Chains A and B, each alone.
Chain A
Amino acid sequence: MSDKTNAVKQRNERYNKYVNTVTPKTSMTKALLHSFLIGGLTCIIGQAIGDILAYSVPSLSKDMVANITSMILVTVAILFTGLGFYDVIARQGGAGSFLPITGFANAMASASMEFKTEGLIFGTSAKLFTIVGPVIVNGIVWSTLAGLINLWILGMY
């Protein structure tokens, strides 16, 4: 019995190795370049919105400008998701469109659109965080850890 399972295991390993050699890989340089361009463009647009806001309404505090800028970016990202542009951009952008705040907005908006058909409670409300759930959970866990480290270890000195 163990002989047979060993043979199967070896066959599987051999096959997986072979599959790895023939499977086309994403080109690293191309992916990096694309995500740098798209991510950078998002950041430039964000910076531009912030600067325009700061110049046009000088009474706004720095924090307030940052908040409004994020809100505008999120709104535009959700709008693009609804109109069906965002996934087209993201197919090129990769991590460049996934990492900024717009990626988070897209993940939530797409889930809420997708599960709308199951109703407001069991559809949209229940499934809203299906994609971003891990982000939130990990965000809370790791920021708590960082905070504790800051409090106990760095705070002593």
Chain B
Amino acid sequence: MFSFKHTKPESMSKDNVSVVPPPTNFSSRKRVMRFYNTPRIIGRMSVVGEKESKGPLGKYFAKCETDDKMGEKTFERAEIRMFDTAVRGAVRDSGLDIKDVDLLISGDLLNQMTTSSYAARDIGVPHIGVYGACSTMTESLLVAASFVDSGYFSNVLCATCSHFATAERQFRFPLEYGCQRPPYAQWTVTGAAASIVSTNNADTERFPKIVMAIPGMITDFGTNDLNNMGAAMAPAAMDTMCTLFTQTGFCESDFDLVVTGDLGKLGSDILRDLMRERGMKLGQNYIDCGNMIYDVKQKCYQGGSGCACSATIFNSFILDKLVKGEYKRVAYLATGALMSTQSCYQGETIPCISHAVVVESPFGGECE
């Protein structure tokens, strides 16, 4: 029944875990989680703002909100509403009822994760909040897949959202304040996305499956520019990507698509350089969501950022292609910068993280 064939790795043996590797050594610790029961992603939904819908991937998104405030009084309320739309849309897409959902794992960018907790208040499903900044989607997929794989729950919702206006206020300046962005700045994506991870059975066999996940390691290469997120996050992506290519048994060419979260144009160029330094060349199959979501004409400098940036693209474009079988195997590495404005002003450098999940199409997953 399980089409994914692997020999059982010795990753569970304890003596490997206790070894603390030197910071530049990637292969000494076993970090790959393999899901032998292959949890399926049976439902998805992506909601974006107007600017994103005018980007190159606009036609793939399920819903577009043309009003920034969506008829609500504050941007925060609008974000909650968008989150709610995404969650309910994903449930509808999977053909389930909200009562069938066992757990909601979600997170967002705001302090104390108000958006996801406030939205969960009205959804009425047990809730686990995760914070991985822009990597929240992969983090929640990773947690959901392990819950489903181990049999604790059968339907788990993963959701995340971000809103340009609320993120700007928290991390930068008021919206109407006339300041110049440096040419390496990124634009926070307005959007929300949700997907449902479900157990593998006869009904769900036709959906994409999560086969592996790699929890990220906090990586800090000593950058402390609040605007240059791409340069801060690229080492984290490099760390996880090296693990992906060295420990899973797959190399770059085995993936139809290697997607990073929101490194932007600059960050993805840096990542290519970093990987080349380590003897792994990223080719045409490597893309970056932050780089793709906006058109050059939209004046977003290096591209998009935020939780929703990679989450909306994953839940629309990438999963669409996986369901159709156009992509066979996709590695999705979202990156997150785990700083606060205070820590940056206090002179701290920016710690970053990147979690990875490997998703395979239901068709022909066995290809080697």
Residues of A within 8 A of B (CB): 4, 7-9, 11-13, 15-16, 18-19, 22-26, 81-82, 84, 86-87, 89-91, 93-94, 97-98, 103, 106-107, 109-111, 113-115, 117, 130-131
Selected from B176, B183, B228, the residue in CB contact (under 8 A) with A110 is: B176
Instruction: Indicate whether A19 sits within 8 Å of B270 (C-beta atoms), given known contacts A11-B24, A26-B183.
Output: yes
Instruction: Indicate whether A94 sits within 8 Å of B180 (C-beta atoms), given known contacts A4-B22, A114-B169.
Output: yes
Inter-chain CA distance A23–B266, complex, in Å, is 7
Which residue of chain B has the shortest Cβ distance to A35 in the bound complex? B180
Selected from B176, B180, B231, B270, the residue in CB contact (under 8 A) with A114 is: B176
Q: In the complex, which residues of chain B have a beta carbon less than 8 angstroms from the beta carbon of A113?
A: 174-176
Q: In the complex, which residues of chain A have a beta carbon less than 8 angstroms from the beta carbon of B179?
A: 87, 90, 98
Q: In the complex, which residues of chain B have a beta carbon less than 8 angstroms from the beta carbon of A90?
A: 178-180
> A4-B22, A111-B174, A113-B176 are known contacts; what are 20 more A-B pairs with Cβ within 8 Å?
A4-B23, A8-B23, A11-B23, A12-B221, A15-B222, A16-B221, A16-B222, A18-B270, A19-B231, A19-B270, A26-B182, A26-B183, A81-B178, A87-B177, A87-B179, A91-B181, A103-B178, A114-B175, A117-B76, A131-B177
Q: In the complex, which residues of chain B have a beta carbon less than 8 angstroms from the beta carbon of A87?
A: 175-179
B269 touches A22 (CB 8 A): yes
Selected from A15, A89, A91, A94, the residue in CB contact (under 8 A) with B235 is: A15
Which residue of chain A has the shortest Cβ distance to B183 in the bound complex? A24
Inter-chain CA distance A22–B274, complex, in Å, is 12
Q: In the complex, which residues of chain B have a beta carbon less than 8 angstroms from the beta carbon of A24?
A: 183-184, 266
Can you give 23 contacting A-B residue pairs, CB < 8 Å? A7-B24, A9-B222, A13-B222, A16-B221, A16-B223, A19-B228, A19-B231, A19-B270, A22-B231, A22-B266, A24-B266, A26-B180, A82-B176, A87-B178, A90-B179, A106-B178, A107-B177, A114-B176, A114-B177, A115-B174, A117-B73, A117-B76, A131-B174
Smallest distance from the beta carbon of B5 to chain A beta carbons, Å? 39
A93 touches B178 (CB 8 A): yes
Q: In the complex, which residues of chain A have a beta carbon less than 8 angstroms from the beta carbon of B184?
A: 23-24
Residues of B within 8 A of A (CB): 22-24, 73-76, 169, 173-184, 220-223, 228, 231, 235, 266, 269-270, 273, 349
Inter-chain CA distance A11–B73, complex, in Å, is 48
Q: In the complex, which residues of chain B have a beta carbon less than 8 angstroms from the beta carbon of A109?
A: 176
B176 touches A106 (CB 8 A): yes
Smallest distance from the beta carbon of A16 to chain B beta carbons, Å? 6
Smallest distance from the beta carbon of B62 to chain A beta carbons, Å? 29
Inter-chain CA distance A7–B75, complex, in Å, is 45
Inter-chain CA distance A62–B52, complex, in Å, is 52
Q: In the complex, which residues of chain A have a beta carbon less than 8 angstroms from the beta carbon of B22?
A: 4, 7
B174 touches A114 (CB 8 A): yes
Smallest distance from the beta carbon of A76 to chain B beta carbons, Å? 13
Q: In the complex, which residues of chain B have a beta carbon less than 8 angstroms from the beta carbon of A86?
A: 176, 178
Inter-chain CA distance A9–B73, complex, in Å, is 48
B221 touches A97 (CB 8 A): no
Smallest distance from the beta carbon of B266 to chain A beta carbons, Å? 6
Which residue of chain B has the shortest Cβ distance to A31 in the bound complex? B180
Which residue of chain B has the shortest Cβ distance to A95 in the bound complex? B180
Selected from A9, A23, A91, the residue in CB contact (under 8 A) with B178 is: A91
Which residue of chain A has the shortest Cβ distance to B301 in the bound complex? A24
Q: In the complex, which residues of chain B have a beta carbon less than 8 angstroms from the beta carbon of A12?
A: 220-222, 349
Q: In the complex, which residues of chain B have a beta carbon less than 8 angstroms from the beta carbon of A131?
A: 173-174, 177
Inter-chain CA distance A96–B141, complex, in Å, is 47
Inter-chain CA distance A58–B75, complex, in Å, is 50
Inter-chain CA distance A107–B176, complex, in Å, is 8
Smallest distance from the beta carbon of A38 to chain B beta carbons, Å? 10
Which residue of chain A has the shortest Cβ distance to B77 in the bound complex? A117
A11 touches B174 (CB 8 A): no
Q: In the complex, which residues of chain A have a beta carbon less than 8 angstroms from the beta carbon of B228?
A: 19, 23
Inter-chain CA distance A4–B270, complex, in Å, is 24
Smallest distance from the beta carbon of A94 to chain B beta carbons, Å? 5
